[in-house]
């Protein structure tokens, strides 16, 4: 269509160019309908006369059905010549003159569309358009489509080929169907409407098409001839182009009722062939490439300024379902609050008759059962009691301690004594012993130079090796007391003779001492072999371990430290002695007492308010420290100062009490932690991460104070006093200083230095004290005196310890090498038995539970030998009710003490009363009057006379007659 | 029981005065309950006595609340189980008394349709 339009435009231009010339020659300018979009239409008025001339009378020649008439150009010229200006064609004379064709198309404008009754088409294209267009508007229906489809099917055309290869030209004049064209299938199909009549005709056509090209060519002439003809049904097929060219063209004309112009053009060899697509160069083929350049579309550059948007909030709903594994149904209920009756309900229930009936019935049977139990214990285990009795009446030989092993340090050149013993809390058969040179103070001073050369040691002995110590802990001076840390057995704290506290960390050697167990078999061989054979091997094993830290010389104790204790991991104390909770969960505080009359509390954690000076010092020291010393307590070394210091003043005199032993409330707990499983788990923990390696300073954050904590403790002194006092400081109202409280009680019971103050492992409040020549047992809270005080023994007592399994048994070591075993259930006035252990003074006793059936006691003597003895069954196994019976004994003693105290008061009162009476009497005698005195004298004289008479009668000096007189006198 | 019925249902009393029997009816069972429990409690070694209803809810106890609740709940279950055991074996049989001897105590349970009487005794005392 486009090219046609172009042509039209060209033609219009071509027309226009001569127009001005014509306009110049003739005034008349034909009026076309350019304003209405049809420049080729020139409206005319044709009079009836003109209509007659040109055979175009309205309703006769031109009708609604045939509204046009083709008029010969010559006829118009003739008319123009005949009628000149009168001619109706005069206004369009110019058009007619310039018209290229022979016939002009005159159209009857019935509706006066262009204003006049006729109009003339001024161009050839316009004529053709009019003639063609006339049939388009009303198109038949789907029949044409069917037709086309049939055709396509008949021609074996692939549907893809339809678009470009098929050019249809259908003219259906009857139903005004004119399909022509350019025919991409869209336009064809949209034009195709009803045409079922045609299908048969088309079949003919198709049959022809399928004939050979020669046959088609033979028909073509006929077909062309039929073109102009008006036969009723004429079908012609024109095949144009020879077969050599491979193309054929079919013309199909159907005339009569309808006219079909059908043009199919396709290369013959491509009929029915599959379509092949291929790439081609766009530049090589003309018009193969159409460029569509981008350009801004003004329609879309408009800026939106306002917009109406409606919104409605809709709740989002999601349907989700899952399918879980379904096992089996189970009814489960949890009642977390007990059901209870209210008071009223209870009252009404109690008053209800059924309850009373029930109780009356039930009480009988219950009471029968109760009475049965009262009468006899049916379920008593006689065998158990039988065995018990057997045990108590067992052999006497069984009660003796049996020598198991003994250790002596053969390597030390000087003679030494053992000062302290401690069993390793976790490792079987490992015992630590501190040794000190056996010298008096004067000798010690005298030999001090010599003593410096040899190390002061704590030796670790193992059951598996009786000759060589497993570890040797070095210290600056002789150790007089030491303790394993309850939370980590690899930490050991000891007190020196010079007043320093020493700390060791043997974590690095823990494996070594634990693995001795494996060497158990070796020890047997070792006893068989001569000693010198073993020497080199074991020398290698002997380990000297340096201490980690020692306390400051200036600010610590001045004299020998006599006792040291770890405070329990449950609490910690501050400078004032107030007790706080211990958050670290490990033991990190120590308490020591020394012969310089002070008791000190120490904290192994670094103190926060450190002056820069001391930190510098520390740095310097850290350089000096050899590499083999663990840095656990580096922060303490030589700068460690006590947290607080307590001085036990005697009050009136300037002298102080000199403590030798202390016992805190928590001591018994430490025994409990010696329970094997507990400590083992603790060591495992320690192995994972040793808390002592990253100690944080205590007291840094606010700790919760423990209010109801008993801060009182027992102290034994050099003078044999047992003091019960408080470590909590109190503010002196006068000076404002914090002063230690006055002791709760002081008793001088012992006639020598107190060397043992120990709480019973069974009763928290029972304390054993040993000192001088006697033993005493105390109860905390009963401070009138000891529950038990033994009489003076012939030999001095030097050490003591409670039995770990029998509440009523304790061991006392004597200076003559004997062990006194006290059994409170058997005797309370003297030891149950005595046994000789060695020839010299026993310095320390420490029992140890190895298993339920085996117990050992370590006894150290003055000559440096450590005896390990096995405790017999009778001394280790408690009888069934020993705990309660011993407790009962203590209670009885308490009552006795109370009674004695009461008696004392009563006696004092009585004494006072007596004295008062005596005084009263005396006063009375002085108050007596003289008369009374005379009367009394008279009485005395009369009694004298009587006596004289009776004597005389008896002697026969007086006569009987005088008897009567005597009687009268009476 | 007899006493109660006599006094409570005595026709003369009922006729003569209405508040009379109600007063005695309220006061006497209460006193009787207390008396019985006191008598049981006074036996040697008795630690506690409690009366529990059929659902295991304590009605009367001489022990503290938490202990009572625990005992009541547990022993109620045990007694029900014991009773069902006895009945399963012989449907005509029924549990009349349950004695549990432990290391420390003996627990006696006297069951009934509606109530349980639980007594805890220390027989070794």
Residue in chain B nearest A349 by alpha carbon = B59
Q: How wide is the angle at C-alpha A922 spanned by C-alphas A916 and A925, nearest 5°?
A: 140
Give the pLDDT confidence score for residue A701 in this predicted structure. Answer: 54
Instruction: Please state which of the ranges A578-582, A630-634, A864-868 shows the lowest mean pLDDT.
Output: A630-634
For A651-691, give the DSSP string.
SSSS-B--EEEEE-TTHHHHHHHT-HHHHHHHHHHHHHS-G
CB A894 within 8 A of CB A779: yes
Mean pLDDT of A794-809: 88
Kind plus residue range of the DSSP H or E element containing A319: none
CA-CA distance, A563 to B95, in Å (whole number)?
Answer: 66
Instruction: Please tell me which of the candidates B55, B60, B69 has its beta carbon nearest to residue A346.
Output: B60
Mean pLDDT of A639-649: 80
How distant is the Cα of A884 from the closest Cα of chain B, in angstroms?
13
Mapped to the 3 state alphabet, what secondary structure does A482-548 carry?
Answer: EEECCCCCCEEEEEECCCCEEEEECHHHHHHHHHHHHHHHHHHHHHHCCHHHHHHHHHHHCCEECCC
Mean pLDDT of A720-737: 76
CATH code, domain carrying B33: 3.30.450.30
Whole-prediction pTM value?
0.50
Instruction: Please state which of the ranges A271-275, A372-376, A532-536 shows the lowest mean pLDDT.
Output: A532-536
Inter-chain CB proximity B112 and A363 less than 8 Å: no
Burial readout A556-595 (b: 16 or more C-beta within 10 A, e: otherwise): bbeebbbbbbbbbbebbbbeebbbbebeeebbbbbbbbbb
Instruction: Please state which of the ranges A415-429, A540-554, A861-875 shows the lowest mean pLDDT.
Output: A540-554
CB B27 within 8 A of CB B21: no
Whether B23 has its CB under 8 Å from any CB of chain A: the answer is: no
Inter-chain CB proximity B117 and A338 less than 8 Å: no
Residue in chain A nearest B66 by alpha carbon = A338
Alpha-carbon distance values, A966 to A936, A958, B6 (Å): 21, 10, 88
Ramachandran bin of B117, using left for φ above 0, alpha for ψ from -120 to 50, beta for the remaining angles: beta
Inter-chain CB proximity B58 and A360 less than 8 Å: no
Inter-chain CB proximity B59 and A350 less than 8 Å: yes
Ramachandran bin of A472, using left for φ above 0, alpha for ψ from -120 to 50, beta for the remaining angles: beta
From the candidates B2, B27, B106, B118, which should be mutated to test the interface with A, based on the most A CB atoms within 10 A? Answer: B106
Kind plus residue range of the DSSP H or E element containing A76: helix A73-83
Mean pLDDT of A106-118: 78
Give the pLDDT confidence score for residue A970 in this predicted structure. Answer: 44
Tell me the chain A residues in contact with residue B69 when contact means C-beta distances shorter than 8 Å: 338, 340
Going by the DSSP 8-state scheme, the letter that residue B70 receives in this structure is H
Mean pLDDT of A196-223: 39
Instruction: Please state which of the ranges A324-338, A695-709, A771-785 shows the lowest mean pLDDT.
Output: A695-709
Taking the alpha carbons of A951, A955, A959, A960 in that order, is the dihedral positive or negative? positive
Confidence tier at A674 by pLDDT (50, 70, 90) = very low
Mean pLDDT of A910-928: 83
Q: How many CA atoms lie within 13 A of A801 on its CB side?
A: 21
CA-CA distance, A871 to A864, in Å (whole number)?
Answer: 21
On the question of pLDDT at A694 being above 80, the answer is no
Length of chain A: 970
Whether B51 has its CB under 8 Å from any CB of chain A: the answer is: yes
Give the pLDDT confidence score for residue A145 in this predicted structure. Answer: 52
Give the pLDDT confidence score for residue A187 in this predicted structure. Answer: 33
Give the pLDDT confidence score for residue A445 in this predicted structure. Answer: 78
Q: Nearest CA to A596 among A563, A625, A626?
A: A563
Average pLDDT, chain A: 71
Tell me the chain A residues in contact with residue B40 when contact means C-beta distances shorter than 8 Å: 363, 366-367, 370
The size of the A-B interface in CB pairs under 8 A is: 107
The token duo for A205 is: 């056509």
Going by the DSSP 8-state scheme, the letter that residue A782 receives in this structure is B
Mean pLDDT of A505-522: 65
CB A495 within 8 A of CB A482: yes
The token duo for A143 is: 């029949």
3-state helix vs strand vs coil in chain A, percent to 5: 35, 25, 40
Give the residue, A531 or A755, on which the prediction is more confident: A755
CB A592 within 8 A of CB A599: yes
The token duo for B106 is: 């003996």
Q: Which residues contact A693 (CB under 8 A, 6 or more apart)?
A: A632
Give the residue, A11 or A570, on which the prediction is more confident: A570
Tell me the chain A residues in contact with residue B33 when contact means C-beta distances shorter than 8 Å: 350, 355-356, 359
On the question of pLDDT at A651 being above 90, the answer is no
CB A180 within 8 A of CB A168: yes
Share of chain A above pLDDT 90, in %: 3
Low-confidence spans in chain B with pLDDT less than 50 = 1-26
Kind plus residue range of the DSSP H or E element containing A43: strand A41-44
Alpha-carbon distance values, A496 to A114, A158, A553, A561 (Å): 139, 117, 11, 6
CA-CA distance, B87 to A340, in Å (whole number)?
Answer: 29
Residue in chain B nearest A345 by alpha carbon = B59
On the question of pLDDT at A699 being above 70, the answer is no
The token duo for A390 is: 């057997």
Predicted confidence (pLDDT) per residue in A717-728, tens digit: 888 888 888 877
Tracing tokens 């905390």 back to the chain, one arrives at A780
Whether B77 has its CB under 8 Å from any CB of chain A: the answer is: no
Instruction: Please state which of the ranges A244-258, A537-551, A946-960 shows the lowest mean pLDDT.
Output: A244-258
Inter-chain CB proximity A351 and B37 less than 8 Å: no
CA-CA distance, A673 to A173, in Å (whole number)?
Answer: 122
Q: Nearest CA to A464 among A424, A426, A519, A411?
A: A519
Predicted confidence (pLDDT) per residue in A769-800, tens digit: 998 888 998 888 887 888 888 888 888 898 89
Taking the alpha carbons of A251, A254, A255, A258 in that order, is the dihedral positive or negative? negative
Give the residue, A837 or A534, on which the prediction is more confident: A837
Burial readout A486-497 (b: 16 or more C-beta within 10 A, e: otherwise): bbbbbbbbbbbb
Alpha-helix runs per DSSP H in A99-172: 124-133, 142-155, 159-165
Q: How many CA atoms lie within 13 A of A561 on its CB side?
A: 30
Q: Nearest CA to A855 among A836, A832, A881, A876?
A: A876
Kind plus residue range of the DSSP H or E element containing A692: none
Whether B115 has its CB under 8 Å from any CB of chain A: the answer is: yes
Q: Which residues contact A200 (CB under 8 A, 6 or more apart)?
A: none
Number of helical H runs and strand E runs in chain B: 4, 5
Give the residue, A729 or A677, on which the prediction is more confident: A729
Give the pLDDT confidence score for residue B86 in this predicted structure. Answer: 94
Whether B58 has its CB under 8 Å from any CB of chain A: the answer is: yes
> Structural domain tally of chain B?
1
Q: How many CA atoms lie within 13 A of A798 on its CB side?
A: 21
From the candidates B5, B69, B123, which should be mutated to test the interface with A, based on the most A CB atoms within 10 A? Answer: B123
Q: Nearest CA to A478 among A552, A406, A562, A408?
A: A562
On the question of pLDDT at A255 being above 60, the answer is no
Whether B60 has its CB under 8 Å from any CB of chain A: the answer is: yes
Kind plus residue range of the DSSP H or E element containing A263: strand A260-267
Share of chain A above pLDDT 70, in %: 67
Confidence tier at A460 by pLDDT (50, 70, 90) = confident
Instruction: Please state which of the ranges A468-477, A533-542, A859-868 shows the lowest mean pLDDT.
Output: A533-542
Instruction: Please tell me which of the candidates A339, A371, A379 has its beta carbon nearest to residue B55.
Output: A339
Give the pLDDT confidence score for residue A928 in this predicted structure. Answer: 67
On the question of pLDDT at A399 being above 60, the answer is yes
CA-CA distance, A866 to A458, in Å (whole number)?
Answer: 13
CB A150 within 8 A of CB A202: yes
Inter-chain CB proximity A359 and B36 less than 8 Å: yes
Give the pLDDT confidence score for residue A64 in this predicted structure. Answer: 72
Kind plus residue range of the DSSP H or E element containing B49: strand B46-53
For A914-946, give the DSSP string.
HHHHHHHHHHHHHH--HHHHHHHHHHHHHHHHH
Per DSSP, the three-state class of A232 is: coil
Paired strand residues for A721: A748
Mean pLDDT of A432-440: 84
Q: What are phi and psi of A769, to 5 degrees?
A: -125, 140
Per DSSP, the three-state class of A960 is: coil
Tell me the chain A residues in contact with residue B26 when contact means C-beta distances shorter than 8 Å: 351
Q: Nearest CA to B33 among A150, A347, A828, A441?
A: A347
Confidence tier at A698 by pLDDT (50, 70, 90) = very low
On the question of pLDDT at A947 being above 90, the answer is yes
Alpha-helix runs per DSSP H in A329-417: 343-351, 353-375, 382-392
Task: Report which listed range, A395-399, A684-688, A827-831, is most confident.
Answer: A827-831
Give the residue, A581 or A197, on which the prediction is more confident: A581
CB A473 within 8 A of CB A547: yes
On the question of pLDDT at A267 being above 50, the answer is yes
CB A67 within 8 A of CB A107: yes
CB A460 within 8 A of CB A512: no
Per DSSP, the three-state class of B65 is: helix
Quote the domain boundaries for residue B57: 4-121
CA-CA distance, B39 to B31, in Å (whole number)?
Answer: 12
Predicted confidence (pLDDT) per residue in B56-66, tens digit: 899 989 999 88
Instruction: Please tell me which of the candidates B26, B33, B108 has its beta carbon nearest to residue A369.
Output: B108
Give the residue, A396 or A661, on which the prediction is more confident: A661
């Amino acid at each position: 269509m486009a090219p046609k339009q172009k042509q039209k435009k060209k033609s219009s231009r071509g027309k226009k160019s001569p127009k001005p010339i014509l306009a110049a020659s003739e005034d008349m300018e034909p009026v076309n309908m350019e304003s209405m979009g049809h420049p080729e239409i020139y409206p005319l008025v044709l009079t009836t006369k003109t209509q007659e001339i040109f055979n175009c009378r309205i309703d006769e020649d031109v009708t609604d059905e045939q509204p046009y008439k083709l008029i010969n150009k010559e006829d118009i010229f003739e008319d123009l010549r005949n009628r000149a200006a009168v001619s109706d064609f005069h206004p369009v004379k110019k058009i007619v003159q310039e018209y290229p064709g022979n016939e002009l198309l005159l159209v009857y404008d019935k509706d006066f569309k262009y204003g006049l009754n006729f109009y003339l088409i001024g161009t050839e294209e316009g004529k053709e358009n009019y003639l063609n267009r006339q049939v388009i508007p009303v198109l038949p229906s789907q029949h044409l489509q069917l037709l086309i489809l049939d055709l396509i099917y008949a021609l074996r055309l692939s549907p893809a080929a339809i678009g470009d290869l098929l050019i249809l030209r259908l003219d259906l004049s009857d139903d005004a169907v004119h399909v022509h064209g350019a025919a991409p299938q869209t336009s064809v199909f949209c034009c195709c409407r009803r045409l079922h009549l045609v299908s048969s005709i088309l079949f003919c056509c198709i049959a022809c098409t399928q004939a050979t090209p020669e046959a088609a060519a033979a028909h073509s002439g006929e077909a062309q001839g039929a073109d102009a003809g008006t036969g009723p049904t004429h079908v012609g097929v024109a095949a144009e182009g020879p077969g050599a060219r491979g193309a054929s063209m079919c013309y199909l004309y159907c005339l009569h009722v309808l006219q079909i112009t059908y043009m199919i053009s396709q290369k013959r060899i491509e009929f029915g062939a599959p379509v092949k697509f291929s790439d081609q160069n766009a530049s090589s083929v003309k018009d193969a490439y159409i460029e569509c350049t981008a350009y801004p579309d003004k329609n879309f550059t408009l800026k939106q300024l306002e917009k109406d948007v409606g919104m409605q909030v809709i709740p989002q709903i999601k349907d989700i379902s899952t399918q879980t594994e379904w096992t089996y149904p189970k009814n489960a209920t949890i009642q977390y609050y007990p059901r209870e009756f209210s008071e009223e309900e209870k009252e009404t229930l109690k008053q209800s008759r059924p309850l009373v009936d029930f109780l009356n019935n039930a009480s009988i049977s219950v009471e029968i059962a109760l009475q049965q139990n009262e009468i006899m214990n049916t379920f008593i285990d006689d065998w158990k009691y039988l065995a018990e009795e057997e045990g108590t009446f067992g052999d006497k030989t069984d009660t003796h301690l049996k020598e198991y092993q003994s250790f002596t340090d053969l390597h030390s050149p000087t003679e030494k004594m053992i000062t302290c013993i401690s069993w390793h809390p976790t490792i079987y058969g490992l015992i630590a012993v501190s040794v000190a040179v056996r010298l008096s103070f004067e000798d010690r001073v005298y030999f001090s130079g010599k003593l410096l050369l040899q190390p002061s040691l704590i030796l670790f002995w193992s059951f598996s090796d009786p000759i060589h110590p497993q570890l040797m802990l070095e210290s600056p001076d002789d150790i007089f007391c030491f303790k394993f840390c309850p939370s980590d057995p690899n930490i050991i704290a000891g007190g020196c003779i010079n007043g320093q506290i020493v700390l060791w960390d043997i974590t690095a050697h823990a494996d070594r001492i634990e693995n001795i167990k494996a060497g158990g078999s070796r020890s047997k061989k070792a006893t068989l072999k001569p000693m010198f054979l073993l020497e080199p091997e074991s020398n290698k094993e002997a380990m000297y371990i340096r201490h980690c830290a020692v306390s400051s010389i200036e600010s610590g104790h001045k004299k020998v430290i006599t006792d040291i204790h770890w405070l329990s991991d449950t609490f910690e104390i501050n400078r004032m002695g107030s007790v706080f909770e211990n958050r670290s969960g490990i033991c990190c505080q120590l308490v020591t007492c020394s012969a310089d009359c002070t008791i000190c509390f120490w904290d192994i954690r670094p103190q926060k308010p450190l002056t820069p000076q001391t930190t510098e010092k520390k740095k310097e020291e850290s350089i000096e420290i050899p590499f083999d010393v663990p840095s656990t307590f580096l922060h303490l070394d030589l700068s460690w100062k006590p947290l607080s210091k307590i001085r036990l003043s005697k009050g009136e005199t300037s002298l102080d009490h000199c403590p030798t032993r202390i016992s805190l409330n928590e001591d018994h707990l430490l025994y409990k932690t010696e329970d094997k499983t507990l400590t083992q788990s603790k060591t495992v923990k320690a192995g994972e991460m040793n808390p002592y390696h990253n100690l944080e300073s205590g007291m840094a954050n606010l700790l919760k104070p423990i209010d109801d904590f008993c801060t009182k403790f027992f102290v034994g002194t050099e003078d044999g006093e047992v003091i019960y006092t408080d470590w909590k400081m109190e503010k002196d109202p006068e000076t404002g200083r914090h002063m230690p409280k006055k002791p709760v009680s002081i008793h001088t019971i012992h006639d020598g230095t107190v060397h043992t103050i120990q709480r019973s492992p069974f009763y928290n409040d029972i304390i054993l004290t040993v000192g001088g020549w006697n033993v005493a047992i105390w109860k905390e809270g009963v401070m009138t005196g000891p529950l038990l005080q033994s009489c003076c023994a012939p030999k001095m007592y030097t050490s003591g310890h409670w039995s770990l399994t029998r509440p009523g048994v304790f061991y006392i070591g004597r200076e003559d090498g004997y062990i006194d075993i006290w059994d409170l259930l058997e005797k309370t006035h003297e030891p149950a038995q005595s046994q000789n252990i060695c020839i010299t003074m026993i310095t320390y006793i420490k029992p140890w539970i190895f298993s339920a059936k085996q117990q050992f006691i370590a006894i150290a003597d003055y000559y440096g030998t450590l005896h390990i003895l096995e405790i017999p069954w009778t001394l280790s196994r408690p009888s069934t009710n020993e705990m309660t019976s011993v407790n009962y004994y203590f209670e009885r003693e308490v009552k006795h003490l109370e009674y004695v105290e009461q008696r004392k008061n009563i006696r004092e009162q009585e004494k006072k009363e007596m004295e008062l009476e005596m005084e009263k009497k005396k006063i009375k005698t002085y108050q007596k009057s003289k008369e009374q005195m005379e009367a009394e004298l008279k009485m005395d004289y009369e009694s004298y006379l009587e006596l004289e008479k009776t004597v005389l009668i008896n002697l026969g000096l007086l006569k009987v007659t005088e008897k009567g007189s005597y009687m009268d006198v009476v | 029981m007899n006493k109660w019925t006599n006094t409570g249902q005595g026709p003369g009393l009922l006729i003569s005065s209405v508040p009379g029997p109600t007063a005695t009816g309220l006061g006497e069972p209460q006193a009787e309950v207390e008396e019985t429990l006191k008598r049981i409690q006074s036996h040697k070694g008795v630690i506690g006595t409690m009366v529990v209803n059929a659902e295991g809810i304590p009605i009367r106890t001489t022990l503290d609340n938490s202990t009572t609740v625990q005992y009541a709940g547990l022993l109620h279950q045990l007694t029900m189980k014991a009773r069902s055991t006895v009945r399963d074996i012989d449907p005509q049989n029924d549990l009349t008394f349950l004695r549990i001897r432990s290391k420390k105590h003996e627990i006696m349970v006297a069951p009934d349709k509606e109530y349980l009487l639980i007594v805890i005794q220390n027989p070794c005392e």
